[in-house]
Amino acid sequence: MTSLLCVRNLSLSYPSPRKRWRRSAPVVALQDVSFDLAAGERLGLLGMSGSGKSSLLRCLLALERPQAGHIHYQGRAVAPGSIAALRWYRRAAQYVPQDPIASLEPRMNVAQLVAEPLLRLGGDGDIARRTEEALESVGLDHRFLSRRPDELSGGQAQRVAIARAIATRPALLLTDEPVSGLDMTIRAQVIDVLRELSNTHGTAIVMVSHDVSIIAGLCQRAMVMEQGRLVEDRPTPELLKTPQHPHTRALLEAAPPLVTAA
């Protein structure tokens, strides 16, 4: 498969809080992280809180500049910059947040929310039609166009967040715990939507989660992080069947029975 994203030797540290007149050693978030993502691949990023998952995601979103290493998307360097400088990457790589309600402007209706990335990033064709197509792809019809975020259920809000993210037809979808606040039925529906997007449109997905069952249900490949390091990177079925690292085994022991992604 064609390489879409190339990450090499990322290292990132944050200043530690000052204690009286002294500042402690920096907090290390990422340590020499490297991996490749193929076009259309679904990759799960596992780890406990503080393992570096969110810091890595912020780097992939070009919101954080690492102290070392680099990220390339289809051979082009990705780094924080101005809106104009990053317009090409924002069209190619979109984000689905953990809390969709908090991310949706309450004064805008669904049609406006989904169309906004197209208007800001320069979508081609009929904006209204592209908006409806994005909604239809996540199982919502034209009746939702006039609704506002406070008129949506949790599952519907998450679908709108996904529709908003895919309206520009990105090749890469970056997601942060996208189903953590949903009940089991809605969670399964959202996972099905993401899988269908990947299978139908060839969208690559990176999903950050601490929940092994979610990664098992969607991702073909899984990476495990601990204390900023990438400690395991294997096809999901192999990782679940024969975990090699103690941290991976600890995550699996804490998880319910698993069903792996097709």
Model confidence over 230-247: pLDDT tens digits? 999 999 999 999 999 999
Asked whether the predicted pLDDT for residue 257 surpasses 90, the reply is no
Residue 259: other Cβ atoms inside 10 A: 8
Residue 33: other Cβ atoms inside 10 A: 23
Q: What is the mean pLDDT of residues 128-135?
A: 91
Q: What global pTM score does this model have?
A: 0.87
Q: Is 112 inside any structural domain?
A: no
Distance CA 205, CA 203 (A): 6
Q: Is 116 inside any structural domain?
A: no
Q: What is the mean pLDDT of residues 183-196?
A: 83
Amino acid occupying residue 139 = G
Q: Is 194 inside any structural domain?
A: yes
Q: What is the pLDDT of residue 26?
A: 83
Q: Is 237 inside any structural domain?
A: yes
Q: Is 260 inside any structural domain?
A: no
Both structure tokens of 13: 């540290």
**Can you give the chain as a three-state secondary structure string?**
CCEEEEEEEEEEEECCCEECCEECCCEEEEEEEEEEEECCCEEEEECCCCCCHHHHHHHHCCCCCCCEEEEEECCEEECCCCHHHHHHHHHHEEEECCCHHHHCCCCCCHHHHHHHHHHHHCCCCCHHHHHHHHHHHCCCCHHHCCCCHHHCCHHHHHHHHHHHHHCCCCCEEEEECCCCCCCHHHHHHHHHHHHHHHHHHCCEEEEEECCHHHHHHHCCEEEEEECCEEEEEEEHHHHHHCCCCHHHHHHHHCCCCCCCCC
Q: What's the structural domain count of the chain?
A: 1
Which residues, other chains included, contact 20 with Cβ-Cβ below 8 Å and sequence gap of 6+?
none
Q: What is the pLDDT of residue 260?
A: 52
- Taking the mean position of all CA atoms in its chain, how far away is CA 14? 22
Q: Is 42 inside any structural domain?
A: yes
Range of the domain at 176: 3-14+27-97+171-253
Asked whether the predicted pLDDT for residue 175 surpasses 90, the reply is yes
Q: Is 65 inside any structural domain?
A: yes
What is the domain-level CATH number for residue 186?
Answer: 3.40.50.300
Q: What is the pLDDT of residue 209?
A: 87
Q: Is 21 inside any structural domain?
A: no
pLDDT digits (tens, 9 = 90+) for 22-74: 767 788 999 999 999 999 999 999 998 889 999 999 999 999 999 999 999 99
